[in-house]
Amino acid sequence: MRILIIEDEIDLADILAQGLRRQGYAVDIASDGEQGCESAMVNDYDLLILDLNLPGMDGLEVCRRLRAGKPHLLILILTARNRPFDKITGLDLGADDYLVKPFDFGELVARIRALLRRDLRVRDTILQCGDLKLDPASRTVWHGDRRLELTRKEFGVLEYLMRHPGEVISQEELLEHVWDAEADPFSNTVRVHIHSLRRKLGDDQTPPKIIETIAGLGYRLVSSS
């Protein structure tokens, strides 16, 4: 899952980004409204953390524009403004949640998880697909009775595939949602991570039975695996 933070307090943005990366999210930062808006329009983020007091374009204006251009983007406003007027305006402009600074990082992460669940119409807190079970909160994965030790990116790839079981997911889509803006679109990093995931799943026979390769299109998690 990939998150954009639009926040002009660089120290806060960095701390947030580090914390969220430790939770396994891919995170990019924009430090003003214009840059943030542009970045959110060209990239496919799952969720936006938006400050309201920004230089140049105000956060509420960013929210209004992105709601119009990116109807499915989840927007969480994170701001020192706590007047009911700002909350009401933000939510009316289409923000999905509102958290006032100073905030507790654990609460922020719990709200992010709740928003991602809501968006994907996945009510269960644990994702399940065949013999695979993945818990986004505790970041654990089970294959049958076996607990898998996955790296952060392997976990991200598997989580994304498990949120779209049976769908063909392209390399580009995985890069968009699991890696941040630093990722090189021409590298073979997705292939390498799929390969190591299959190895850990014991899915290294030919052809693989859990994560299928769909030639020229991408990968598909077989839902009855």
Q: Cβ closer to Ca ion: 53 or 125?
A: 53
Q: Cβ closer to Ca ion: 101 or 191?
A: 101
Q: Cβ closer to Ca ion: 6 or 210?
A: 6
- 8 touches Ca ion by CB under 5 A: yes
| Residue 122 Cβ vs Ca ion, minimum distance, rounded to whole Å | 32
What's the order of all strands across the beta sheet hosting 168-169?
A: 168-169, 218-221, 211-214
Stretch that binds Ca ion, among 5-13, 68-76, 87-95, 164-172 (CB under 5 A): 5-13
Q: Cβ closer to Ca ion: 1 or 54?
A: 54
User: Among residue numbers 35 through 94, which ones bind Ca ion (CB under 5 A)?
Assistant: 51, 53
| Residue 68 Cβ vs Ca ion, minimum distance, rounded to whole Å | 23
Instruction: Measure the CA angle with vertex 156, ends 40 and 149; round to 5°.
Output: 160
Per-residue exposure over 167-201, b if at least 16 CB sit within 10 Å of its own CB, e if not: eebebebbbbbbbbeebeeeeebbeebbebbbebb
Please state whether beta strands 2-6 and 168-169 pair in parallel, antiparallel, or not at all (unpaired). Answer: unpaired
| Residue 84 Cβ vs Ca ion, minimum distance, rounded to whole Å | 20
Q: Cβ closer to Ca ion: 56 or 166?
A: 56
| Residue 109 Cβ vs Ca ion, minimum distance, rounded to whole Å | 21
| Residue 5 Cβ vs Ca ion, minimum distance, rounded to whole Å | 11
What's the Rg (C-alpha) of the chain? 18
- Name the nearest CA neighbour of 16 among 85, 91, 90, 105: 105
Cβ-proximal residues to 85 (8 Å cutoff; 6+ apart), any chain: none
List contacts with Ca ion (CB under 5 A).
Answer: 8, 51, 53
